[in-house]
Copies of this chain bind each other. A is one copy, B any other.
Amino acid sequence: MATGRTHRPATRSRGIPEATVARLPLYLRALTALSERSVPTVSSEELAAAAGVNSAKLRKDFSYLGSYGTRGVGYDVEYLVYQISRELGLTQDWPVVIVGMGNLGAALAGYGGFASRGFRIAALIDADVQLTGRLIAGLPVRHADELEGIVEDNQVSIGVITTPAGAAQEVCDRLVAAGVTSILNFAPTVLTVPDGVDVRKVDLSIELQILAFHEQRKAGEELESSLTAPPVAAKAVRDGGRRPGPDGDVPAVMPA
């Protein structure tokens, strides 16, 4: 997964561990699906399976929020959806600006998963005058000159950067100066920000490189074992035991 993380050391926001916060959206997604199927209650075991985590971990995560379960029964789905939403701050609207309306920015602008969680696109911004005024996902692209005004007028506190790497720091600085305090950065650069500003990064290239590392390692082990062990058909190894392993694979959130 993708993501890197900002430098947030022992902050332990209001007692909720960072690792737990990162999983809450996962639980919320699973719970929302259950809610849509009108399932009234769910056990930690079931929900954990749906979210792809260990049930003990899930229970401990929920315990940070409070005692919302009923022993012998499980958790009330609707209630939990509400509690987690509230904890994550999703009961309110978060105006967001996207800066850099190239391929990626346009894809994000049209992404439905945005609005469905209370993230409202306040504006799409680009420095290219050719793009100014053009409609993307129904919204007109605004010129970068208007950035400060847009952020201030709309009380935007979250900014998404999808400009080329070279422009990212400058855009970031302007966003922060205008009042943005949370940034989601897709440009492959390290952003420097003042204290109090959160930055999370998504870097596709890094994700692929991590996969490549493990891929290479797998190939290496294969080779090794086929040298040590009697030469089994390589093809069989490639197809290696494909059991529907219950390995709940969680992605990427590393402390920085």
Contacts and interface: CB of A to CB of B under 8 A. Distances in A.
Interface of A: 1-8, 13-14, 19, 21-26, 28-30, 50-53, 68, 70, 76, 78-79, 82-83, 86-94, 96, 103-104, 106-108, 110-111, 113-114, 117-119, 155, 157-158, 176-177, 179, 181-184, 188, 190-196, 198-218, 220, 238-256
Given A50-B190, A201-B252, 15 more contacts: A2-B202, A4-B250, A5-B253, A19-B254, A82-B252, A91-B250, A92-B246, A94-B212, A113-B188, A157-B215, A158-B212, A182-B212, A182-B214, A200-B211, A201-B250
A126 to B, nearest CB: 15
B251 A202 contact: yes
A20 to B, nearest CB: 10
A162 B196 CA distance: 34
Q: How many copies does the complex hold?
A: 2
Given A22-B210, A256-B76, A94 B51 contact: no
3 closest residue pairs by CB, A with B = A3-B252, A2-B3, A2-B2
